[in-house]
Each structure stands twice: as structure tokens, then as C-alpha cells.
């Protein structure tokens, strides 16, 4: 074993973990590290900067459900924040933000974590090790063997929660989806509900471009990247803050510039799926002009049940479009 591999193996085996009487040592940190390695394997994490993403949170929740036997309470924010006590993990705060801590010097909430922390940075040497499948498998086995010996066979099972939410986004009617959210809001505390919305919003952003073949439904632009970078945006027709609806008919796929124009009412799509450009748009002749799309019919998904909602498009025509 090389010196550097030995160094990080020791660090993983001797994590600083909180202790609770009757529960024992907290399993949060090893669960987070396992989740980070899964996302590196999937390509969702491709640098030593660890961002707070729906994919990482989903992995954390699934690994917790599969591996943790004690009655500790699942809390993503705690290990992401307290991992800073480990030599390989540095928290980078967002510009002009200050940490708001509880009396016990912990992070206040998931919302506070997202607002305050830009990302965590792991040692570059460690990240380089984790990029190698053999090393990653070694570290994964080390964590499973040392912290979850009784349940390690459950690791890497299919994330049924992710599949369930994807199915709701793809197939539920608006009222059914809104009812699902109402039930969750009533049954979860504020922090857990905040995480639920974060996950659902993330899956909406992944699912909408997928059903439009990763293309802008207006311009047809399609850019593929080997880094898993998503170049086409998922756009709510009626903002989620108003609609409480992440289902497919409330979404269209747009390039970033057209997304911004749509949100600002510089363009709209009528109930016949025809693009209309605001008469207030003044621009020079350019290959990037909005006016070139005026009167164009958008590209539609293969299933009619996934077509943009005419009700929502009418709302956008009336409430957002500048005429």
C-alpha cells in the first residue's frame, strides 16, 4: 500500500463521529462518503469540489435506508458540515455569507446549508485516488466493512425513492401531484420537506430535457458533453412557487438564453404550440435573434400526455408575455 493510500485509509477508518448514549457513534459521515464515491462513479462529481446536489442527497438518503441499523435520525446537513473536522474536507462559504450555527455549533438547517455553503473541497490527492475504480472499490469496502458490517450486502441497491418520484413527475396528473405534496408537507418537518422539494426539483430538471431528447424545443439546439454537464434547461411554464407542480406538462426544454427570455415574457408559446415574440423586443439582425423563432411550432415529446399543458401556456400568455 502506498503512503498516500495508507494516509486516506486511516482517515476513513478513524472518522471523528459524534456519540449519543443509547445509540452509539453517528453513521452520518461514512454514509456521506459512500454517497460521494457513488456520484464520482456516475460522473455527477467530476472535480474535487463537492456541491450540494439532488443526486448526492438522493444517494445519501438511499444509503441511509439500506445501511443504518441504529435509531439515529437521517440528516444530510450534519455530515456535510461536520466533515470539516476531517483533514481532507474543507468548506467553502458562498460570497458574503456567514455561517449561522446552533448553540451546539452545528448548522441550523438544510436551507441554511445551501444558502451558506458554496461547496466542500476534498484533497486533490484523495480525489485523484477516488477517480480510479480499483481505489474507489477499496475505499468503499473499507467503509462498509468497518461501519456497516451487518448490512453491507444492501449497498448499491436500486434507489426506489428516485424511481417513485420520477414516475410521479412523468405520469401523475396535476391535482394528484399537488395532493402528494400536500400530504408530504403535512407529514414532514420543515427541514425534510425542504429536502423533498430540492430532490423533486432536481429530478424535474433532469427529466424534462430527457423527454425532449436533450434538445431545446424551440431552437433545436443540442449539445452533448462527456462531463455530464447539462446544457439544456428544464423550464417551468408556471413557476413552481405558484403551481406546486413538477409534472411533465408544466415543463419545456429550452436553451439558457431562450429560458431567460421565456421567464421574462419576451417570448411565449400559444395553445397551438406556436412561438410568439413580444413586440417590445428590439434587436439587430443576428443569427442569435429571438425574432427568427416567431411563428415557429415547437418540438413536442413523443407522448401526447407529456405535451405542454394548454392551461399553463394560456397562463403564461396572460401573466408573463409582454404585449
* pLDDT digit string, tens, across residues 286-308: 777 899 999 999 999 999 999 99
- Based on the fold, state whether residues 114 and 248 are members of the same structural domain: no
Through-space distance between the first and last CA atoms of the chain, rounded to whole angstroms: 69
- At residue 212, the pLDDT reads 97
* pLDDT digit string, tens, across residues 94-139: 988 777 677 667 787 899 999 999 999 999 999 999 999 999 999 9
- Based on the fold, state whether residues 195 and 141 are members of the same structural domain: no
Percent of the chain with pLDDT over 70: 98
Mean pLDDT along residues 18-46: 95
Final residue of a domain: which of 154, 179, 202?
Answer: 154
- At residue 230, the pLDDT reads 81
- Based on the fold, state whether residues 116 and 148 are members of the same structural domain: yes
- Based on the fold, state whether residues 164 and 310 are members of the same structural domain: yes
* pLDDT digit string, tens, across residues 200-248: 999 999 999 999 999 999 999 998 777 677 889 999 999 999 999 999 9
Count of other CB atoms within 10 angstroms of residue 47: 13
- Based on the fold, state whether residues 122 and 184 are members of the same structural domain: no
Mean pLDDT along residues 40-53: 96
- Based on the fold, state whether residues 104 and 194 are members of the same structural domain: no
Final residue of a domain: which of 136, 154, 172?
Answer: 154
Backbone angles phi, psi at 276, to 5 degrees: -125, 135
- At residue 104, the pLDDT reads 66
Mean pLDDT along residues 264-269: 97
Which of the 8 DSSP states describes residue 122? E
- At residue 97, the pLDDT reads 75
Whether 248 and 173 have beta carbons less than 8 Å apart is answered as no
Q: Give me the number of domains the chain comprises.
A: 2
In this structure, the strands spanning 233-236 and 267-269 are unpaired
- Based on the fold, state whether residues 61 and 135 are members of the same structural domain: yes
Mean pLDDT along residues 23-41: 97
- At residue 96, the pLDDT reads 81
- Based on the fold, state whether residues 48 and 127 are members of the same structural domain: yes
Secondary structure class of 319 (helix, strand, coil): helix
Q: What average pLDDT is seen over the chain? A: 94
Q: Label residue 240 exposed, middle or buried (CB < 10 Å: 0-12, 13-18, 19+).
A: middle
Checking 28-31 for CB contacts under 8 A at 24+ apart, the result is: 28/72, 28/74, 28/75, 28/78, 28/79, 28/82, 29/79, 29/82, 29/83, 29/86, 30/143, 30/146, 30/147, 30/148, 31/60, 31/63, 31/64, 31/67, 31/68, 31/79
In this structure, the strands spanning 233-236 and 251-254 are antiparallel
- Based on the fold, state whether residues 189 and 292 are members of the same structural domain: yes
- At residue 1, the pLDDT reads 60
- Based on the fold, state whether residues 123 and 266 are members of the same structural domain: no
Q: Which residues pair with 93 in a beta bridge?
A: 117
* pLDDT digit string, tens, across residues 160-182: 999 999 999 999 999 999 999 99
Residue span of the structural domain in which 123 resides: 3-154
The Cβ-side half-sphere exposure at 78, using a 13 Å CA radius, reads: 16
* Closest to 99 (Cα-Cα) out of 118, 85, 86: 118
Give the Cα separation of 148 and 155 in Å (integer).
10
Residues with Cβ within 8 Å of 4's Cβ and at least 6 positions away in sequence, in order, are 125, 129
Which of the 8 DSSP states describes residue 254? E
- At residue 182, the pLDDT reads 97
Confidence of residue 6 (pLDDT cuts 50, 70, 90): very high
Confidence of residue 146 (pLDDT cuts 50, 70, 90): very high
- At residue 293, the pLDDT reads 96
CA–chain centroid gap for 18, Å, is 27
Asked if pLDDT for residue 274 goes beyond 80, the answer is: yes
- At residue 106, the pLDDT reads 78
- Based on the fold, state whether residues 254 and 288 are members of the same structural domain: yes
Mean pLDDT along residues 8-37: 95
Mean pLDDT along residues 73-84: 96
Final residue of a domain: which of 138, 154, 170?
Answer: 154
- Based on the fold, state whether residues 58 and 146 are members of the same structural domain: yes
Amino acid at each position: 500500500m502506498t503512503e498516500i493510500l495508507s494516509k486516506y485509509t486511516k482517515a476513513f477508518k478513524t472518522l471523528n463521529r459524534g456519540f449519543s448514549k443509547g445509540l452509539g457513534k453517528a453513521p452520518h459521515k461514512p454514509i456521506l462518503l459512500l454517497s460521494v464515491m457513488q456520484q464520482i462513479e456516475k460522473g455527477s462529481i467530476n472535480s474535487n469540489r463537492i456541491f450540494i446536489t439532488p443526486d448526492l442527497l438522493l444517494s445519501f438518503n438511499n444509503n441511509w435506508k439500506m445501511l443504518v441499523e441504529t435509531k439515529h435520525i437521517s440528516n444530510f446537513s450534519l455530515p456535510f458540515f461536520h466533515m470539516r473536522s476531517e483533514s481532507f474536507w474543507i468548506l467553502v462559504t458562498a460570497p458574503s455569507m456567514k455561517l449561522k450555527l446552533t448553540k451546539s455549533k452545528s448548522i441550523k438547517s438544510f436551507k441554511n446549508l445551501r444558502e451558506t455553503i458554496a461547496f466542500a473541497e476534498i484533497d486533490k490527492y484523495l480525489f485523484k485516488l477516488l477517480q480510479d475504480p480499483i481505489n474507489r472499490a477499496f475505499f468503499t469496502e473499507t467503509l462498509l466493512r468497518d461501519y456497516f458490517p451487518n448490512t453491507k450486502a444492501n449497498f448499491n441497491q436500486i434507489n426506489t425513492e428516485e424511481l417513485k418520484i420520477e414516475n410521479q413527475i412523468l405520469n401523475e396528473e396535476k391535482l394528484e401531484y399537488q395532493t402528494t405534496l400536500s400530504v408530504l408537507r403535512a407529514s414532514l418537518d420543515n427541514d425534510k420537506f425542504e429536502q423533498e422539494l430540492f430532490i423533486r426539483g432536481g429530478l424535474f430538471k433532469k427529466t424534462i430535457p430527457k423527454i425532449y431528447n436533450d434538445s431545446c424545443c424551440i431552437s433545436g439546439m443540442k449539445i452533448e458533453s462527456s462531463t455530464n454537464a447539462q446544457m439544456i434547461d428544464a423550464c417551468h411554464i408556471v413557476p413552481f412557487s405558484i403551481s406546486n407542480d413538477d409534472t411533465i406538462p408544466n415543463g419545456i426544454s429550452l436553451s439558457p438564453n431562450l429560458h431567460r427570455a421565456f421567464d421574462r415574457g419576451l417570448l411565449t408559446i400559444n395553445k397551438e404550440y406556436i412561438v410568439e415574440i413580444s413586440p417590445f423586443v428590439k434587436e439587430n439582425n443576428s443569427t442569435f435573434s429571438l425574432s427568427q423563432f416567431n411563428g415557429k411550432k415547437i418540438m413536442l415529446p413523443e407522448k401526447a400526455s407529456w405535451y405542454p399543458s394548454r392551461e399553463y401556456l394560456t397562463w403564461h400568455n396572460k401573466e408573463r408575455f409582454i404585449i
